[in-house]
């Protein structure tokens, strides 16, 4: 059973954490991060208007991005202003014998 499986070593725990970080990066969440970096919205509502997306869906994506430490919130009165924490994400991957690197810049 999957529930019986646990990660014992630090390497296994680190791999699980890295996979969670990567799983978080969907095209819509990347769009959210780029929009925050470019437009500096003053609230979640402002961000949802810029993206032309439902505020509930944007909020759920923001919470996941915050949990994975891509973004954070700054309290501004009754509003939460989304702010970028990460400015760049670098992916290393191996294709055959060749190792390659891709960089994703938010701003």
Q: Does the residue 15 lie in any domain?
A: no
Q: Does the residue 16 lie in any domain?
A: no
Q: How many residues does the chain have?
A: 107
Confidence (pLDDT) at 11: 67
Q: Please tell me the total count of domains within the chain.
A: 1
Q: Does the residue 93 lie in any domain?
A: yes
Residue range 20-70, pLDDT digits in tens = 667 788 889 989 999 999 999 999 999 999 999 999 999 999 999 999 899
**Structural domain containing residue 83:** 23-105
Q: Does the residue 8 lie in any domain?
A: no
Kindly report the pTM of this predicted structure: 0.73
CATH number at residue 84: 1.10.10.10
Q: Does the residue 73 lie in any domain?
A: yes
Q: Does the residue 62 lie in any domain?
A: yes
Confidence (pLDDT) at 93: 66
H helix or E strand, kind and range, residue 101: strand 98-105
Q: Does the residue 56 lie in any domain?
A: yes
């Amino acid at each position: 059973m999957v529930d019986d499986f646990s990660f014992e070593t630090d390497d296994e725990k680190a791999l699980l954490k890295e996979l969670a970080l990567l799983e978080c990066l969907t095209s819509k969440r990347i769009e959210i991060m780029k929009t925050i970096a470019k437009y500096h919205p003053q609230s979640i509502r402002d961000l949802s208007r810029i993206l032309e997306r439902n505020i509930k869906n944007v909020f759920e994506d923001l919470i996941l991005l915050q949990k994975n430490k891509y973004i954070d919130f700054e309290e501004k009165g009754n509003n939460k202003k989304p702010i970028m924490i990460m400015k760049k994400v670098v992916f290393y991957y191996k294709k055959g014998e060749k190792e390659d690197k891709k960089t994703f810049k938010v701003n």
